[in-house]
Amino acid sequence: MKLTRKSTDLLIYNLLAERRMSGEEIGEVLGISRAAVWKAINKIRQNGVQIDVEGRRGYAIVEEMDVNPYKVASIAFRNLKFLDEVFYYTSVDSTNLRAREYGRPSVLFFAESQSAGRGRLGRRWESERGGLYFSLTLQPPLGFDDLSKLTLIAGLAVADSLPGAKLKWPNDVMVEGKKVCGILSEIHGELERPVVIIGIGINVSNPVPENAIRVQQFWYVDLTQVFDKVLKTFQHHYSLLVGGEWEKLRERYAEKCDTIGKVVKVITPTGEIVGRAEGIAKDGAIIIDGKKVYSGDCIHLRNYRSR
Ligand code: BTN
């Protein structure tokens, strides 16, 4: 289902999240008929929010599903200033695929589960219920060469949102050496005006393999709290990036990045590079033995000193 900032059902949900209100009052506030209010209330009910009605005192939210379209859209619109639309799916093939097909920027695609979740380099991303799966589309006022910084700051936003998290270049988020979040960035559209899709998958309470970890193993929070925190941090970092403050973000990224200071193997489309990861260059590349590398699959081999 699709929601915008002006969707009547979302506006009513937000009013009722504050307090009980009568149909008449809601109608007056929103400038719509009582029949329209009633119709929207039924739609909200059908989407996992229990609303009771008490005679003239009117409607109130009594219970809701932990994750539902209105809660998700409220969080998304509150945190992301540039956002125009939210698509919500209980199940979908892949939010990145939906984003690509839709084609427009400033949209968020959210899924409770994915049947064909996609990981980097053609891998699968297990996406059972309980995890956080969403894609954001952006058309940032940045040059083509700066677009990869967006992926880095998305990873940084997640790492900054989770206690004890570190980054594994380019944008895996790790806790206790295990992967908690993966990011798949894709670019489409015209070369002059590309649309960037940032797909984020965070293990929250979903089942994970041995080499991965989920948020609830180290932090007692629910999925929408994680979503809220990540979007807030992303908006903050994104504003810095488009405001020309990349240098601050680069420093912050380097501090959080566990890859720096390690001997690594990076598998790139043009071959393998083994060497010391020395730092993050001004243009966002990782520096390995003095050479810049822009993308690839990175394996940590050992620390400098143990060499
Ligand atoms: C990785 O391989 O580390 C990247 C995983 C990215 C998974 C997310 S989940 C939401 C979005 N939709 C997808 O199909 N993939 C990304």
Ligand 1 pocket member 137 (CB < 6 A)? no
**Longest Cα pair distance anywhere in the chain, in angstroms?**
76
For residue 243, tell me if it sits in a domain.
yes
Q: Quick one: tokens of 133?
A: 């799966």
For residue 307, tell me if it sits in a domain.
no
For residue 181, tell me if it sits in a domain.
yes
Ligand 1 pocket member 252 (CB < 6 A)? no
For residue 165, tell me if it sits in a domain.
yes
pLDDT at 295: 86
87 shares its domain with 235: yes
For residue 306, tell me if it sits in a domain.
no
Per-residue pLDDT in tens (0 to 9) along the chain, 307 residues: 999 999 999 999 999 999 999 999 999 999 999 999 999 999 999 999 999 999 889 999 999 999 999 999 999 999 999 999 999 999 999 999 999 999 999 999 999 999 999 999 889 999 999 999 999 999 999 888 888 899 999 999 999 999 999 999 998 999 999 999 999 999 998 888 899 999 999 999 999 999 999 999 999 999 999 999 999 999 999 999 999 999 999 999 999 999 999 999 999 888 999 999 999 999 889 999 999 998 889 999 976 654 4
pLDDT at 97: 98
How far apart (Å, rounded) are the C-alpha atoms in residues 117 and 201?
9
Ligand 1 pocket member 58 (CB < 6 A)? no
pTM, two decimal places: 0.95
pLDDT at 191: 81
Q: Kindly report the CATH number assigned to the domain that includes residue 145.
A: 3.30.930.10
273 shares its domain with 251: no
pLDDT at 224: 97
Residue that terminates a domain, selected from 11, 40, 64 = 64
Segments forming the whole domain that contains residue 291? 263-301
Ligand 1 pocket member 168 (CB < 6 A)? no
How far apart (Å, rounded) are the C-alpha atoms in residues 276 and 102?
41
For residue 188, tell me if it sits in a domain.
yes
128 shares its domain with 247: yes
Residue that terminates a domain, selected from 16, 33, 64 = 64
189 shares its domain with 82: yes
177 shares its domain with 106: yes
Residue that terminates a domain, selected from 222, 237, 256 = 256
89 shares its domain with 174: yes
Atom of ligand 1 nearest to the CA of 114: 14
228 shares its domain with 119: yes
pLDDT at 305: 55
Asked whether 172 and 180 are in contact (CB, 8 A), the reply is: no
Q: How many domains does the chain have?
A: 3
Q: Is 86 helix (H, G, I), strand (E, B) or coil?
A: strand
For residue 290, how far is its CA from the centre of ligand 1 (angstroms)?
31
* Dihedral over alpha carbons 55, 59, 63, 69 (to 10 degrees): 150
